[in-house]
A = this chain, B = another copy of it.
């Protein structure tokens, strides 16, 4: 017997009602029944994105949503700026390069945050750059960028800001309209608490102008990720739908999950995630572990350096195979050097207590020196404060 839970930066655990929705009999997608579900889910997405504009659902992972932004916005040979602080930031650069863009790289060491003043400088030096790509929460490092400041800087130079908010939406405060973000992308398996397979995207009216310009030029080099087609099919007042066959079961789950998120309320939901992250950070400090993120530690995940003398891969494996709790290791060069504990989506106080308890037991077994109980005590103190 082993109770299993996911405390990774996505996929996250899924609430039972959302799981059971996937076990409902098949439904055809060209029916009033499905249109009603898609319409309700799309309405909830607007609340979660904090926007009045439509949020489109794409039938792909988050990476497909990122590609949709590049495919629909970037002109061939165009110079763009990628402000990267980790693995997913670098993915922006790779996608744009695959589309023939000239990528101006403002790449930070992993663990750092983007400095808006440096984006400003880079845009001043490259007046031809009209698109800036970055992350809100960088999943590989647990660092959060200041999107409001970055939007301001981009707009000052007449550029649009494109943000991957895949692991932050529905977790950390994000205001699409208030901040004036031009393109925002998210995915289903993080704050949305449903299985992977859906991406969400919102575009500002400025961004739609650009999409129109590229599309009119013809030979645009995309089809499945055609955002104009997706928008036109969704806004059909008679029967909102999607241009291609939608992932029906995932959309049904989305509707149930979005109802839960909106029902909790965005302020309460953000506060919950902050509470969990604060407790996790208190435990890390009490255990005298070292944070990997040196700036803007995210409320979505906590990244921690593996202590000297401890086998990082073995630690992650023990969590999963001996204790039933799946956490994440490091990506790329960080493999074995950090571990990442997600506290997003269907996560609450009890999950932090147990995860820190397990962490202590594993660290003790692996020879790390500390007083057993200081981690969970710090967690309890953090929660007792409220």
Which residues of A approach B to under 8 Å, CB–CB?
A: 4, 6, 8, 10-14, 19-20, 22-31, 59-64, 67, 70, 76, 94-95, 97-100, 187, 189, 195-197, 219-226, 244-250, 320, 326, 328
State whether B245 touches A189 (Cβ < 8 A). Answer: yes
Q: List 5 A-B contacts (CB under 8 A).
A: A6-B26, A14-B26, A59-B60, A187-B245, A247-B247
Report which of B31, B70, B197 forms a contact with A249, defined as CB distance below 8 A.
B197
State whether B13 touches A63 (Cβ < 8 A). Answer: no
Roughly how many angstroms separate A12 CA and B248 CA in the complex, as a whole number?
Answer: 12
Roughly how many angstroms separate A141 CA and B28 CA in the complex, as a whole number?
Answer: 18
Contacts of A4 in B (CB 8 A): 25, 27
Contacts of A62 in B (CB 8 A): 244-245
Report which of B26, B219, B224 forms a contact with A63, defined as CB distance below 8 A.
B224
Roughly how many angstroms separate A219 CA and B23 CA in the complex, as a whole number?
Answer: 42
Report which of B8, B25, B246 forms a contact with A13, defined as CB distance below 8 A.
B25
State whether A63 touches B195 (Cβ < 8 A). Answer: no
State whether A222 touches B20 (Cβ < 8 A). Answer: no
| Overall SS of chain A's interface | loop
Roughly how many angstroms separate A187 CA and B241 CA in the complex, as a whole number?
Answer: 19
Contacts of A10 in B (CB 8 A): 245
- Distance in Å: Cβ of A14 to nearest Cβ of chain B: 5
State whether A219 touches B100 (Cβ < 8 A). Answer: yes
State whether B219 touches A98 (Cβ < 8 A). Answer: yes
State whether A245 touches B31 (Cβ < 8 A). Answer: no
- Distance in Å: Cβ of A174 to nearest Cβ of chain B: 20
**Whose C-beta in chain B lies nearest to the C-beta of A345?**
B26
Report which of B11, B76, B244 forms a contact with A248, defined as CB distance below 8 A.
B11
Report which of B64, B99, B245 forms a contact with A59, defined as CB distance below 8 A.
B64
Contacts of A195 in B (CB 8 A): 22, 26, 247-250
State whether A247 touches B197 (Cβ < 8 A). Answer: yes
Q: 11 new A-B pairs (CB below 8 Å) besides A22-B22, A23-B23?
A: A10-B245, A11-B28, A11-B245, A19-B24, A26-B195, A60-B60, A64-B244, A67-B224, A196-B246, A247-B250, A250-B250
Report which of B61, B97, B100, B220 forms a contact with A245, defined as CB distance below 8 A.
B61
Contacts of A24 in B (CB 8 A): 19
Contacts of A328 in B (CB 8 A): 28, 30
- Distance in Å: Cβ of A135 to nearest Cβ of chain B: 15
Report which of B31, B224, B326 forms a contact with A60, defined as CB distance below 8 A.
B224
Contacts of A19 in B (CB 8 A): 22-25
Tell whether A244 pairs with B63 under 8 Å between CB atoms, given A6-B28, A24-B19, A28-B11: yes
Contacts of A187 in B (CB 8 A): 245
Report which of B29, B64, B97 forms a contact with A224, defined as CB distance below 8 A.
B64
Roughly how many angstroms separate A25 CA and B13 CA in the complex, as a whole number?
Answer: 7
Contacts of A223 in B (CB 8 A): 63, 67, 70, 94-95, 98-99
- Distance in Å: Cβ of A94 to nearest Cβ of chain B: 7
**Whose C-beta in chain B lies nearest to the C-beta of A243?**
B63
- Distance in Å: Cβ of A61 to nearest Cβ of chain B: 4
Contacts of A29 in B (CB 8 A): 11, 196
Contacts of A60 in B (CB 8 A): 59-60, 64, 224
Q: Which of A19, A30, A195 has the most CB of B within 10 A?
A: A195
Roughly how many angstroms separate A64 CA and B58 CA in the complex, as a whole number?
Answer: 11
Roughly how many angstroms separate A64 CA and B242 CA in the complex, as a whole number?
Answer: 13
